[in-house]
Chain A
Amino acid sequence: DTEVTQTPKHLVMGMTNKKSLKCEQHMGHRAMYWYKQKAKKPPELMFVYSYEKLSINESVPSRFSPECPNSSLLNLHLHALQPEDSALYLCASSQASSGLSSYEQYFGPGTRLTVT
């Protein structure tokens, strides 16, 4: 199984709503990632979890709150978002890199988020 699943596929939310994006993988990967991607742009890294601990936060606004409840699951909690946060949110996973060893990231299909 080399699949990363994400739910929901599409989400429309108002600026006062609270919602969560979910991501799951069963490849035994210990690194998981959240990316934001705008149309015709490359993915922008938001957060990295390594062995269930937050290892990188790319100065993301606090209205985005990540959570890694276990080694297979990754959530992104959303609260008080702005219209400019509308984008495709991609989850990815990989083996945790160590020293000179690098491993490819497997991406989920993404959640297309629209903030109204």
Chain B
Amino acid sequence: GQNIDQPTEMTATEGAIVQINCTYQTSGFNGLFWYQQHAGEAPTFLSYNVLDGLEEKGRFSSFLSRSKGYSYLLLKELQMKDSASYLCAVRDHPATDKLIFGTGTRLQVFP
């Protein structure tokens, strides 16, 4: 079966660093995406990993280990506006555009 797991909820303090983990067991692997979704809004793209290693984009970085079926999203210098849900999604087959979404992690940032 297809399984993508994330912690349900996390809390952190403004200015801190938080790491959101994602583990996946899928029939195939052709890339992993991270999306941010504020309450009542559409998901927005944050990052994409297909090769092992770290991708950095400003305050956000994403890491992938294909051998371990593991990714994390690292958020630095947290701001109140980072309070949102963070969704990990895997493209499991090269012949389709289908993404399998993880359970999502709700992050709350406190002052």
Contact = CB atoms under 8 A, between A and B. Distances in A.
Interface of A: 4, 31, 33, 40-45, 48, 50, 55-56, 90, 94, 96-97, 99-100, 102, 104-110
A97 B98 CA distance: 9
Counting chain B residues whose Cβ lies within 8 A of the other chain, the interface size class is: 20 to 34
A102 B30 contact: yes
Most A-side CB within 10 Å, residue of B33, B43, B94: B43
B96 A56 contact: yes
Nearest to B34: A104
Contacts of B87: 42-43
A106 B94 contact: no
Contact of B45 (A45, A48, A106): A106
Contacts of A105: 33, 45, 99
A102 B45 contact: no
